[in-house]
Amino acid sequence: MPPEGFSNGKGWIGRILLQNPPDEIMQLLRSEKLAYVTTVGRKTGRPHTVEVWFAFAGGRIFLSHEGRHTDWMRNIVQTNRVRVRIGRLDLAAVARILSEGDSKELGETALYEKYYGPAPKMTIDDWFELSTVIELSPLKYSA
């Protein structure tokens, strides 16, 4: 069910919703520890859902994975449209694997601080040395 005042019968554009989220959505994003990301299988075309840590910053959702690209990450390379469920929030999003830049740095900091607390940049950089950061830009919110 969408938060009070957020249903127009067609869903809300997620980018607008998450640029300045209401308190109810912010509380959900802070309290939930896991996101469920569904990609489209690059070989089968079927939905493939994984459970991952996430963080929210700058109107975007960030994920990370240490080590080699997994099936779900390779699925994103082929088809970048995904669904993400965080608690009762369900979003369609465009996924992008980040290799460098301000977005990657923002995602690393948000992820580290959510699960471990504040740390110097050097600690965060070291933590993510072998990790891939994925940015999800929400398209549409639904119940």
Say if 54 falls within a structural domain.
yes
Say if 132 falls within a structural domain.
yes
Say if 4 falls within a structural domain.
no
**Can you tell me whether residue 46 is helix, strand or coil?**
coil
Number of structural domains the chain divides into: 1
For 85-125, what is each residue's pLDDT tens digit?
A: 998 888 889 999 998 899 999 999 999 999 999 999 999 99
Q: pLDDT value at position 121?
A: 94
CA-closest candidate to residue 54, choices 74, 31, 70, 25: 31
Please say whether the beta carbons of 74 and 42 come within 8 A: yes
Q: Measured between alpha carbons, how far is residue 23 from residues 3, 18, 29, 67 in Å? A: 10, 11, 10, 35
Q: pLDDT value at position 18?
A: 60
Q: pLDDT value at position 7?
A: 36
Q: pLDDT value at position 20?
A: 67
For 33-82, what is each residue's pLDDT tens digit?
A: 999 999 999 999 999 999 999 999 988 999 998 877 889 999 999 999 99
How far, in whole angstroms, is CA 42 from its chain's centroid?
20
Tokens 């965080």 locate to 86
Average pLDDT over the chain, rounded to an integer: 83
Print the domain residue range for 83.
Answer: 12-142
Say if 7 falls within a structural domain.
no
Domain at 104, CATH number: 2.30.110.10
Say if 47 falls within a structural domain.
yes
Say if 133 falls within a structural domain.
yes
Q: pLDDT value at position 4?
A: 40
Say if 22 falls within a structural domain.
yes
| DSSP line for 69-123 | --HHHHHHHH--EEEEEETTEEEEEEEEEE-SSHHHHHHHHHHHHHHH----HHH
Question: Is the pLDDT confidence value at 14 over 70?
Answer: no
Query: Cα–Cα distance between 72 and 40 in angstroms, integer?
Result: 8
Here the tokens at position 59 are 């109107």
Mean predicted confidence (pLDDT) in 15-23 = 62
Please say whether the beta carbons of 53 and 64 come within 8 A: yes
Say if 3 falls within a structural domain.
no
**Can you tell me whether residue 55 is helix, strand or coil?**
strand
Instruction: Supply the pTM of this predicted model.
Output: 0.82
Question: Is the pLDDT confidence value at 143 over 50?
Answer: no
Percent of the chain with pLDDT over 70: 83
